[in-house]
Amino acid sequence: MRRSVFALGLLLGCAEGLPDPSLVVEHRVLASRLEVDATDADPSVASRAEVLPGESLSITPFVVGPTGVVDPSTLDAVWIACELAPGQAPFACLPASFPITLEDLPACATATGEAAWANPTVGRSPCLIGRGGGSTTHAVVASQTVVDGAALELTFIAGAPDGTPTDDCGSELLAGEYDVPDDCLYGVQVAPVGPAAALATAAEAHGFTAPLQPLAPANTDVPDTNPTIVSVRVTVLDDAAEVVVPAREVGPGETLDARMGQVLRIDTRSPVGDLQPFAIPAGDGSWTESSERYRGAWLSTWGRLLSTVSNDPESYDEWELVPPEDVDAPRPPGGVAHLYYVVRDGRAGVAWWWISVRVAE
Amino acid sequence: MSTRSNAPVEIVVALCVALWSGRAAAGEAPAPEPAGPQAEPSGSDDTGAPVAGAVPEDLVPPRRRNEVVITYPEVLAATEDPPRGTIVIEYVVTTDGTVAEITVVESVHPDLDAEAVAAIADLRFDPATWQGQAVEVVQTLSIEVAPPPKVEPAPVAEPAPIAETTPPEPPRPPVRMRGRLFEAGQRTPIPDATIIAVPAEGERLGRVPYRRRKPPATPATWSVQAVTGSDGAFELRGLPTGRVRVIVLSPGYERFESVLDVPADRVVEVDHYATRMNTNPYRTEVGVESDPLATGTERTVTAEESSKMPGTQGDALKSLQNLPGFARPFFGAGQLIIRGAAPGDSATFLAHHELPMLFHFGGITSVFNADLVDRMEVEAGNFDARYGDALGGIVDVTPRRGRRDGFHGYVDADIFDASAMMEGPVGKGSVAASVRRSYIDAILPAVLPDDAGFDLTVAPRYWDYQASFDYPVGNGELTARVLGSDDRARLVLRDANDPDPDARAGVESATWFHRADLAYETRRNRWSFLLTPSYRRDSQTLRILDRYDVGIVNDRISLRAETTRELGKRSALRMGTEAVLDWQRLDVTAPPLGVENTSARGGRGPAGGASTYVQGTRDHRFLARPAVYATLKWGIVDVLTLYPGARVTVYARSSNAVAFEPRLRAVLDATDTTTVTGAVGWFAQQPAGPETDPVFGNPNLRPEHALHSSLGVQQRFGVGWSVEVTGFHKYLYDLAAASPEVVDDGRGGLRPVRFDNAGRGRAYGGELLLRKDFGGKLYGWLAYTVSRSEIRQRPGEDYGLFDFDQTHILTAIVGYRLPRNWQVGARFRLLSGTPITPRRNSITQLYDGAQLALEGDWNSGGRQAPFHQLDLRVDKTWTFRLVRLGAYLDVQNLYNAKNPELTTYSWNYQESQPVSSLPIIPSLGLKLEW
């Protein structure tokens, strides 16, 4: 891997010597999962990530650290919603209001159902969804911008456990500062509003002007759902690639035992059926049909990974339980190493999975 | 030598007429020294004035440093009828100032001749120079000798009878040797060369090498001389039978000597090949007429100059980056950053039409062959009204015609590519064609390790071609030209855990253009006309993963028609029209522009990150840009010339705006060697690219404007030295600038503005250019620019540094021509680092896992460390009779300086480190010419 980075760097003029991005040595927010009318918190169950006005959107962050996954409920977190105008890039909406304070932000409307169409969010963008634990629920309220832009920008601000308070993290970011505290957790998510045909129909039914964008072909105008990870199998190998512990299914968050120098081979499977077709507007009324594809990211708190990405429904990685390169950490903190896997579908859908390993000498 | 008496009368030898290559020197003729009544210098023509001839204008004749005295022998003076008359002596002034090859052409008396030869041998000169280099020249001296006066009154001379008829010419001696003189390696005849034959008894047959060229112990008892004709032919008449040494002298060529036998029974037929000196441009210049409205202050780089410039691999356009006013782009890429302007604000024209791209893969080498270029002129600002739609500067590349003195060509290869070129006459016209192809695609896959992390499905490769046909038609010249270029690369990213990578997980690019021109230029009396249509198709394709898919195809018809009327010795008027018609087809899929997607000019783009939700645009546009322009060259007085001009451009079917661009330049020849220039002018440019796209930009953007002003002084010194100091200021307004604003879309919703015309800019500074012309042994320049380039994206903001601002830019280039066709050159550069935008932290894009940097004010984070680099180049040419082989070693970054080019950041932007420039890179090239 290092050679490939070097070769690519040689071609592209990059440099080496910076921290390995796949090595988690401080708290990070890796992803957030959007679920409409979530009935089950189990991320292995597909759920809809695309929301329509009047529906409630459950937002769950995936916060990890060097000692494992952080329970969102233990965080003091803030979520801010902002209505993206057509073509507006993520994190362009909230910064347009900088400098601002958390106290200045109005609370987001909470109307659902028909009421969400009756009380457009004029003057309420950006707005404060809520403050408390990392997970929250946002009621999506209609406006002409929401109808036209079909996306919400969701900004996450939280202080890391035992780190800078959330108020300080928020005030620095919302003031437009770029030199914010290093340990603050900041994230921005885009919540798609749709599907387009349903949105247009509902908008017209409630007196809004239909979106400028013509409707995509019906076969591509399906709700964006979250992918699932249906199978994770772990095989323990020794340094000669001989099987020490045969492959077995493991659940999310499970803790395994292994020895220093052994290799964990992890095979994951996500159904191809979880991927949806979608259409890309071409600006002239036509569309280009495309489909989602998996993008997996592997991270660990200790050890060495064969690869940090995977792009297939069935993918694998190898986790070698040896000290990471360029880091003085002969043993994992507390003797336990953690592996995080996040898989996205290229749009709003996401799923994650993790295991822990007690590393013996 | 006979005994010298102490006779009271001395003959002071003075040079009367300098003959060089059979022609009189047009330069300074040596002034006769005061002479006694017996020794009066006389000219070799009827008037005593130097003989006019086609001597090169830049030949500086030798200067005599001493005087010598001829003493009339007392023995002869005592005779009853002492000899008198004119001794004509021919000799060669060598490059070290001594005299050689002394030959008595006309004799008076052997003793007097010997006295004269001995005296001439003691003469010393400052050697003649041609283009700054010492050359040998042949001189002829007439010495009138007479005995000292007797004590008794001299008898009154009877008037000479006037001849009533012209005496018949003596019969010409027979031809004993004939031949032709060619340039070695080129096979082209050398006209006006001097061929001298002198006795060579006892010498070895064959070519006389340099080390054996010693002056004869005794003066030659005879010599025969001839001058080559336009076809290089010569005839030597009256040669005695026996061994002779043939000496070939021609300016710009190495002295050639050969010993031959002249038999009694036949005429010797021989061809000689003279080697061109390395101070003499190798190419037969097939230039084109210069612009009659040129101010003469344009900065020009010749093709020969650029081909030997260190650090450029002989690339034409890259050599321009060493001129004052040019900033250095990242990694020495191929962008032309002129006076702090963005590369897209300057335009490069080749044969009156704009080039869509300049360099293969953004900087490896120019897309056209430098060997087919006559010259390149740079207008760093305040350019003529014939060019428009540019806010920065102009590079005007003038291609040359094919040679008409025979068929020539070359093959050339270096570490990147190989090329071939052919040219020659076709009827009264000529044709030239070249082609080049890289072989990176053959080498790179072989040297990449198996676990490199990517597969080169199509390794980077490029090719280009040019062909031109010129033919005289009527009073003018018709030119047909085609040129094109094609760059392609495709790599598929591969991971260790993915043996079958998705084809979409890669990067692919293809950029090409093909162009066909016609041009007809003619002159009738004081009028000249130019008509040149051009058609071009260019395409850009770029795919990055499955997020960016850009396809742009453009068909352009460009038409320029102009006429120039000379109004007098110092005045002329040019009027013209230019129409540029574009049919653009854009098919782009990409995320909405985010902060890392800067605008075409540079600087901050619209706020925000790159979205997972890509958008597309399929935009078919027809754009028309007709323009009319006129420039008057008005020589008010001898020393002052004004160049008022104006251009009116209609940006039809885009902004539909009309841009009026008045311009004025003034040239004051304060002295013969001092020129003062001043200029002020308005310039307009329509934004292009994504900035005006209806999906990604704002189609309602208006043209951008700039006001240029400059003042400069140029001082020329002798032997090719000159110095130029220029101050400049640019004010830019209506610039397309990224806008974070959203506005009411008129339907109750909001829409982002993305770009508007709220940007302002300014650039100011000074330039110094100390230059030694390319002609002599020593050449080069010292260029220094101090400048500041600032931009203000939004109203009310402070001006901030522009991306391409570099405060100090110092470039020193020196080249030296060594004997035996060696040439060495070096380039040293020292310049300020580029501005840095502070980035200390980031926000996670939860939708794709990437990080969006949190940034401070644009370019407010200081600068990269200064850049310094030394490049070295060594050229060697071996010249054979029929071909010439050239080799060069070009070493970039000789002492391997680690100059920071960019800053790279850790995944969360909390740590950073500089990315160094390219390490030491030696490049070896070979070129075989014929």
Q: What is the pLDDT of residues A176-205, one digit of tens each?
A: 999 999 999 999 999 999 898 999 999 999
Question: What does the pLDDT average to over B870-887?
Answer: 92
Q: According to the model, what pLDDT value does residue B387 have?
A: 94
Task: For CA atoms B299, B303, B308, B313, give the dihedral sign.
Answer: positive
pTM for the whole thing? 0.80
Q: According to the model, what pLDDT value does residue B415 have?
A: 81
Does pLDDT of B835 surpass 90?
yes
Give backbone dihedrals phi and psi of B821, rounded to 5 degrees, phi first: 60, 35
Least confident stretch, A254-268, B310-324, B831-845: B310-324
Residues whose CB falls within 8 Å of the CB of residue A82, separated by 6 or more in sequence, listed in order: A93, A94, A97, A125, A126, A127, A152, A153, A154, A155
If pLDDT is split at 50, 70 and 90, which confidence band does B867 have? very high
CB A109 within 8 A of CB A119: yes
CB contact under 8 A, B907 and A18: yes
The more confident residue out of B165 and B590 is B590
Query: How does pLDDT run across A322-355, given as a tens digit for each residue?
Result: 999 888 899 998 999 999 999 999 899 999 999 9
Q: How far apart are CA A121 and CA A119, in angstroms?
A: 6
A310 chain-B contacts, CB cut-off 8 A:
495, 497-498
- The complex scores an ipTM of 0.95
The answer for A148, left when phi > 0, alpha when psi is -120 to 50, beta otherwise, is alpha
The more confident residue out of A40 and A164 is A164
Please count the other Cβ atoms lying within 10 Å of the Cβ belonging to residue B110: 11
Fill in the amino acid letter for A96.
A
| Residue pointed to by tokens 């198709």 | B537
Query: How does pLDDT run across B367-395, given as a tens digit for each residue?
Result: 988 888 888 888 999 999 999 999 999 99
Percent of chain A with pLDDT over 90: 66
Q: Residue A31 is nearest to which of B846, B853, B908, comparing CB atoms?
A: B846
Least confident stretch, A87-91, B39-43, B73-77, B686-690: B39-43
Residues present in chain B in total: 930
Query: How does pLDDT run across B346-355, given as a tens digit for each residue?
Result: 999 999 999 9
Q: According to the model, what pLDDT value does residue B149 have?
A: 66
Q: How far apart are CA B248 and CA B179, in angstroms?
A: 12
Fill in the amino acid letter for B929.
E
Q: Residue B841 is nearest to which of A180, A283, A318, comparing CB atoms?
A: A180
In SS3 terms, chain A reads as CHHHHHHHHHHHCCCCCCCCCCECCCCEEEEEEEEECCCCCCCCCCCECCECCCCEEEEEEEEEECCEEECHHHCCEEEEEEECCCCCCCCCCHHHHCCCCCCCCCECCCCCCCHHHHCCCCCCCCEEEEEECCCEEEECCCCHHHHHHCEEEEEEEEECCCCCCHHHHHHHHHCCCCCCCCCEEEEEEEEEECCHHHHHHHHHHCCCCCCCCCCCCHHHCCCCECCCCCEEEEEEECCCCCEEEEEEECCCCCEEEEECCCEEEEEEECCHHHCCEEEEECCCCCEEEEECCCEEEEEECCCEECCCEECCCEEEEEEECCCCCCCCCCCCHHHEEEEEEEEECCCCCEEEEEEEEEEEC
Q: According to the model, what pLDDT value does residue B34 have?
A: 32
CB B594 within 8 A of CB B608: yes
b/e B79-89 (16+ beta carbons within 10 angstroms → b) = eeebbeeebbb
Does pLDDT of A2 surpass 70?
no
Calculate the average pLDDT of chain A.
89
Interface test with chain B among A1, A2, A11, by most B beta carbons within 10 Å: A11
CA A239 to each of CA A33, A131, A243, A260, A304: distance values in angstroms, whole numbers, following the listed order: 37, 48, 10, 10, 13
Closest CA to A124 of A114, A116, A132: A116
Q: According to the model, what pLDDT value does residue B692 have?
A: 85
CB contact under 8 A, B852 and A147: no
Q: Rounded to a whole number, what is the distance in Å from the CA of A53 to chain B's nearest CA?
A: 15
Percent of chain B with pLDDT over 70: 85
Least confident stretch, A134-138, B107-111, B460-464, B466-470: B107-111
Does pLDDT of B32 surpass 80?
no
Residues present in chain A in total: 361
DSSP string covering B311-377, please? Answer: TTTT-HHHHHTTSTTEEPPGGG-S--EETT--GGGSEEEETTEE-S--BGGGTSSBSS-GGGEEEEE
Q: Rounded to a whole number, what is the distance in Å from the CA of A254 to chain B's nearest CA?
A: 23
b/e B338-353 (16+ beta carbons within 10 angstroms → b) = bbbbbbbbbbbbbbbb
Q: According to the model, what pLDDT value does residue B869 have?
A: 94
Q: How far apart are CA B663 and CA B127, in angstroms?
A: 48
Least confident stretch, A283-292, B87-96, B428-437, B491-500: B491-500
Q: Angle CA(A33)–CA(A37)–CA(A40) in degrees, nearest 5?
A: 70
A288 chain-B contacts, CB cut-off 8 A:
589, 616
Tell me the longest C-alpha to C-alpha distance in chain B. 128
Does pLDDT of B234 surpass 90?
yes
CB contact under 8 A, B844 and A187: yes
Please count the other Cβ atoms lying within 10 Å of the Cβ belonging to residue B228: 26
Does pLDDT of A109 surpass 70?
yes
Residues whose CB falls within 8 Å of the CB of residue B78, separated by 6 or more in sequence, listed in order: none
Q: How far apart are CA B632 and CA B133, in angstroms?
A: 39
The more confident residue out of B70 and B12 is B70
CB A141 within 8 A of CB A122: no
Question: What does the pLDDT average to over B262-289?
Answer: 73
Long-range contacts of B129-132 (CB under 8 A, 24+ apart): B129/B59, B129/B60, B129/B719, B130/B56, B130/B58, B130/B59, B130/B60, B130/B251, B130/B252, B131/B58, B131/B252, B131/B279, B131/B280, B131/B775, B131/B776, B132/B279, B132/B719, B132/B720, B132/B773, B132/B775, B132/B776, B132/B777, B132/B778
Q: According to the model, what pLDDT value does residue B276 have?
A: 82
Bridge-based pairing of strands B912-916 and B900-905 is: antiparallel
The more confident residue out of A318 and B547 is A318
Q: According to the model, what pLDDT value does residue B301 have?
A: 79
Residues whose CB falls within 8 Å of the CB of residue B210, separated by 6 or more in sequence, listed in order: none
CB B892 within 8 A of CB B846: no
Please count the other Cβ atoms lying within 10 Å of the Cβ belonging to residue B268: 18
Q: Residue A147 is nearest to which of B611, B749, B840, comparing CB atoms?
A: B749
Q: According to the model, what pLDDT value does residue B86 have?
A: 82
In this complex, how many residue pairs, one in chain A and one in chain B, have their CB atoms less than 8 Å apart? 253
Does pLDDT of B299 surpass 90?
no
Does pLDDT of B305 surpass 90?
no
The more confident residue out of B108 and B428 is B428
Fill in the DSSP letter of residue B596.
T
Closest CA to A52 of A117, A99, A100: A117
DSSP string covering B99-115, please? Answer: EEEEEEEE-S-HHHHHH
Q: Rounded to a whole number, what is the distance in Å from the CA of A142 to chain B's nearest CA?
A: 11
Q: According to the model, what pLDDT value does residue A327 have?
A: 85
Q: Rounded to a whole number, what is the distance in Å from the CA of B866 to chain A's nearest CA?
A: 19
Residues whose CB falls within 8 Å of the CB of residue B735, separated by 6 or more in sequence, listed in order: B601, B704, B757, B758, B759, B760, B761, B791
Closest CA to B351 of B572, B516, B186: B516
Residues whose CB falls within 8 Å of the CB of residue B501, separated by 6 or more in sequence, listed in order: A311, B455, B492, B493, B494, B495
Calculate the average pLDDT of chain B.
83
Q: According to the model, what pLDDT value does residue B597 have?
A: 45
Q: Rounded to a whole number, what is the distance in Å from the CA of A120 to chain B's nearest CA?
A: 11
If pLDDT is split at 50, 70 and 90, which confidence band does B454 have? low
Task: For CA atoms B232, B238, B242, B246, give the dihedral sign.
Answer: negative
H-helix or E-strand spanning residue B766: strand B750-772
Q: According to the model, what pLDDT value does residue A236 have?
A: 96
Q: According to the model, what pLDDT value does residue B8 have?
A: 32
Question: What does the pLDDT average to over A32-44?
Answer: 69
Q: Angle CA(A209)–CA(A214)–CA(A218) in degrees, nearest 5?
A: 115
If pLDDT is split at 50, 70 and 90, which confidence band does A12 have? very low
Q: According to the model, what pLDDT value does residue A201 have?
A: 92
Q: How far apart are CA B593 and CA B545, in angstroms?
A: 17
Q: Residue B608 is nearest to which of A3, A89, A177, comparing CB atoms?
A: A89
CA A347 to each of CA A195, B19, B597: distance values in angstroms, whole numbers, following the listed order: 13, 87, 20
Query: How does pLDDT run across B550-565, given as a tens digit for each residue?
Result: 999 999 999 999 999 9
Q: Rounded to a whole number, what is the distance in Å from the CA of A109 to chain B's nearest CA?
A: 18
> Closest residue of A to B740, CA-based?
A96
Q: According to the model, what pLDDT value does residue A37 have?
A: 72
Does pLDDT of A8 surpass 70?
no
CB contact under 8 A, B607 and A186: no
Question: What does the pLDDT average to over B492-518?
Answer: 81
If pLDDT is split at 50, 70 and 90, which confidence band does B50 have? very low
Question: What does the pLDDT average to over A45-67?
Answer: 91
The more confident residue out of B487 and A134 is B487
Please give the distance of CA B633 from its chain centroid, rounded to a whole number. 25
CB B583 within 8 A of CB B555: yes
Q: Residue A7 is nearest to which of B448, B747, B901, comparing CB atoms?
A: B448
CB contact under 8 A, B849 and A156: no
Least confident stretch, A8-22, A54-68, B746-760: A8-22
CB contact under 8 A, B750 and A178: no
Does pLDDT of B137 surpass 50?
yes
SS3 of residue B210 by DSSP? helix
Q: According to the model, what pLDDT value does residue B57 have?
A: 55
Query: How does pLDDT run across A283-306, given as a tens digit for each residue?
Result: 777 888 888 989 999 999 999 999
| Residue pointed to by tokens 């200067």 | B63
> Closest residue of A to B588, CA-based?
A282
CB B148 within 8 A of CB B162: no
CB A54 within 8 A of CB A113: yes
In SS3 terms, B775-838 reads as CCCEEEEEEEEEEEEEEECCCCCCCEECCCCCCEEEEEEEEEEECCCEEEEEEEEEECCCECCC
> Closest residue of B to A297, CA-based?
B849
